[in-house]
Each structure stands twice: as structure tokens, then as C-alpha cells.
Amino acid sequence: MAVGTLYKMILLYTAKVILLTGLLFIQNMESFTRFTGDKAAQYQHILAQATQICTHENNLIAVMANLSALLSQQFGWLWTGFYLVDEAANSLVLGPFQGPLACTRIPFGKGVCGTAWAEARSVVVPDVHAFPGHIACSALSESEVVVPCLGRDGEVKAVLDIDSDVFNDFTEEDAANLEQLCALLKEKF
Ligand code: SME
């Protein structure tokens, strides 16, 4: 290879590195690498990243946005996101999410999300078609898990909703790990 070409390649590579580093610095972007391993190991990895995200930022919407992206990127689920409690309207209102368009509001006690809010507990749904009152935001959804996010006062402030296009995609293991993830938000409500 001619010295000139090599010199140009090195120059180009250096410029790319400087540009990317600059972008990361300016936008305070989080870097992400998909982790392979069994589910427990994947959650361990995700929870470590989620802790980092929550340590560096207190804005609830920003943190929820990145947590939705983190779960979506790692597990490739159909829909990952949050609904926030709107006490005045007695409903949940759509928050940050990744995935197809979703219902904007869910009344208290309705659907899987409204049930998780009303009963302040995680709800694992192996087959959404068999869940009475399930709200179908996407026709592709087959199973779902919803976890309540509690504030400092122990009240439900939001729910984390995850949909899969595969039946039986969630277990109590998912619920337990996602509860840990939601607990990281406690101080931010
Ligand atoms: N299926 C949910 C509604 C929200 S979407 O799935 C994003 C429910 O029944 O509450």
C-alpha cells in the first residue's frame, strides 16, 4: 500500500474517532453493547447499566426513555415503555417508550396496566388474548408483563409495560428483575 493511502486512512480513522467522542461528550449519550448469556446474566448486565443511567440523571422522562431503549435493545421485545399515573384524570398516560404506536390513556383498573396500578403488583400475562379486559395496542402482542413503579411514599407513580410477539415470553423471573429496575426510579418521582 502506498504511504500516501495509508496516511489518508489513518487520518480518516482519527477524524472518525474524534467526531464520535465529541458527539458522546456533547450529547452525553449512553453507549450500549448487547450482552449474550442466560436471562439471569442478561438482567444482571442490564441492571448494572440501568443503575449507571439512574445515577447520572435525575430527570424522570430522560431516565425512562433510556431504560425503555436499554430493555428494547437487549431483549428485542415488541414494546417496552412506561405509563405515568395521572391522579387528576384517574388514568395512566403514555410515557417514554420504544415500539409501535400505543394507547395514550388507560383508565384506573383497566387492562393489564390498569390492573397492575390498581392492585399495586406485577402482572405476568402468558397469553394476552386470555386476559379479561386486555387492551390491544398492537395486534402483534401475544404476551405481556407489567410492573408498578413505586415512589418514596409507597404509592404507584408509573408502570413499566413490556409486550412480546411470542406467547409465554415472561415469567416471575422477569417480573422480579423488572421490579428491581423500577425501584431505581423511586427517588425520581
Ligand atoms: N396491553 C396494555 C395496554 C398498553 S400497550 O400494550 C402498550 C394493557 O392491557 O394494559
Same domain, 21 and 44: no
Angstrom distance (rounded) from CA 70 to CA 7: 38
Same domain, 12 and 23: yes
* Cβ proximity of 148 and 120 under 8 Å: yes
The pLDDT assigned to 2 comes to: 67
Task: Name the grid cell of 22.
Answer: 465529541
> What range defines the domain where residue 22 resides?
1-31
Please report the atom of ligand 1 found closest to the CA of residue 110: 10
The pLDDT assigned to 179 comes to: 98
* DSSP H/E element including 106: strand 105-107
| CATH number where 134 lies | 3.30.450.40
What separation in angstroms does the CA of 91 have from each of 5, 17, 84, 85? 62, 47, 8, 6
Domain count, the chain: 2
Same domain, 116 and 40: yes
Report percent pLDDT > 70 for the chain.
85
Mutation to probe ligand 1, out of 134, 142, 156 (largest number of atoms < 8 A from CB)? 134
The pLDDT assigned to 12 comes to: 61
Angstrom distance (rounded) from CA 136 to CA 126: 14
Q: Which residues of the chain have pLDDT under 70?
A: 1-3, 5-7, 9-30
The pLDDT assigned to 31 comes to: 72
Same domain, 15 and 101: no
The pLDDT assigned to 60 comes to: 98
**In this structure, which residue's CA is closest to atom 6 in ligand 1?**
137
